Amino acid sequence: MLPISLRQLRVFESVARHLNHSRAAAELYLSQPAVSMQIKQTENAIGLPLFEQVGKKLFLTEAGFELLNYSRSILQLVNEMESVFDQMKGMERGHLNISVVSTANYFMPQLLAKFIHAHPKIQVSLSVANRDAVIKQLADNIADLAIMGQPPEGTDMRAEAFMENPLVVIAAPTHQLAHNKKILPKQLAKETFLLREQGSGTRGVVERFFASHHLPLPVHMAMDTNEAIKQSVQAGMGIGIISRHGIELELETKRLVVLDVNHFPVVRHWHIVHRKNKRLSIAAQEFERFLLAASESSGVNTIKTL
């Protein structure tokens, strides 16, 4: 049996995820020399190098990739075991890793603040990334739960809708369509659109919208963040389609306007997503219940999807 401790596995998993000793040390509240020593001891126990340094960058070796898969499986089982025993003792504590797409970060901090206030013993970590990165964090078992608008299809994920996500067409207040009523799709087709990258949820909505009206996708520019889209729309570079949750401040300060377009807003939903085969911890279960209760109290119907 390899003399590797759970502590060493946790240190290795953190370094492998960040590919950086300093970030792993900060995450684990350890010194960098302590992290380096744990990695060295793990390599000695296995008898193979786990990382290789190329210039200033750190890379996993073949043995490192193998250990990363095993360590994540082992640590998941340990976390599940701790959760089961805590549940048997009637305890409410633990650690919750949440990953959200960038647009959801406009409302998640407020919800998390309420949740942490109600459950002070639960430690929460929040990661904000694009949709592909969020799905990967779920697949790699880094995130317990994820919040996104468009859940992945044909995977081992389970999604539950908890809040409406209205998508609206935005423009600068000086745009020629800013004060028009009942704007037709063919009018929009003449405009330049600022869109998210291919594969994003809002990009798909735009493509389906014009296809459903037998119109080609308008001239467009692709951008990788909603902030870039908002800034570019404000500068008069074109119009965009974005979640209304992400533009409340700009609407209040009158830096953006919502265009009155036929068939808009397109109402989708925010979803809580997790792996089907993952046994949710007490903390994750509590957070899921909290989100569903919050949406019900605000009058938003929830829709379950499997």
DSSP-based helix, strand, coil % in the chain, nearest 5: 45, 25, 30
pLDDT by residue (tens digit) across 62-82?
A: 999 999 999 988 988 888 787
Q: What is the mean pLDDT of residues 121-141?
A: 86
Same domain assignment for residues 254 and 186: yes
> Would you say residue 90 has pLDDT above 70?
no
Q: Which residue has the higher pLDDT, 301 or 153?
A: 153
Residue 300 lies in a domain: yes
Pairing of strands 51-54, 57-60: antiparallel
What value does the mean pLDDT of the chain take? 86
74: its two tokens: 């082992």
| 183 and 62 belong to one structural domain | no
Q: Are 174 and 260 members of one domain?
A: yes
Residue 56 lies in a domain: yes
- Residue pLDDT, tens place only, 205-219: 888 888 999 998 888
- Is 259 among the domain residues? yes
On whether residue 29 sits in a domain, the answer given is yes
Residue 74: enclosing H or E segment and its boundaries?
Answer: helix 62-88
Looking up residue 63, the CATH number of its domain turns out to be 1.10.10.10
**Which of 16, 48, 74 is the endpoint of a domain?**
74
In a domain, 244, yes or no: yes
Helix (H, G, I), strand (E, B) or coil at 238: coil
- pLDDT class for 89, splitting at 50, 70, 90? low
Give 90's contacts (C-beta < 8 A, 6+ positions apart): none
The answer as to whether 86 is a domain residue is no
Q: Can you give the CATH number for the domain in which 177 is found?
A: 3.40.190.10
pLDDT, residue 41, reads 93
Whether residues 55 and 187 share a domain: the answer is no
Give yes or no: residues 173 and 206 share one domain: yes
Residues 258, 186 share a domain:
yes
Euclidean distance between CA atoms 54 and 164, whole angstroms: 47
In a domain, 105, yes or no: yes
Assess whether 273 and 158 both reside in one domain. Answer: yes
- Kindly provide the residue ranges of all beta strands, DSSP E only, lying in 80-156, ordered along the sequence: 94-101, 122-129, 145-148
* Any domain includes 113: yes
254 and 175 co-located in one domain: yes
Residues 106 and 147 in one domain: yes
What does the pLDDT average to over 177-187?
Answer: 91
The residue to which tokens 């380096």 are assigned: 36
Q: How far apart are CA 136 and CA 290, in angstroms?
A: 24
User: Is 162 within 8 Å of 292 (Cβ atoms)?
Assistant: yes
pLDDT at residue 297, rounded to an integer: 56
Domain tally, the chain: 3
Q: Tell me, yes or no, whether 98 and 239 share the same domain.
A: no
Domain extent at residue 274: 92-163+269-305
pLDDT for 301 beyond 50: no
Whether residues 180 and 262 share a domain: the answer is yes
Q: Which two tokens stand for residue 298?
A: 């605000």
pTM exceeds 0.75 for this model: no
202 and 241 assigned to the same domain: yes
Domain boundary among 40, 74, 108: 74
Whether residue 33 is preceded by a cis peptide bond, meaning omega within 30 degrees of 0, is no
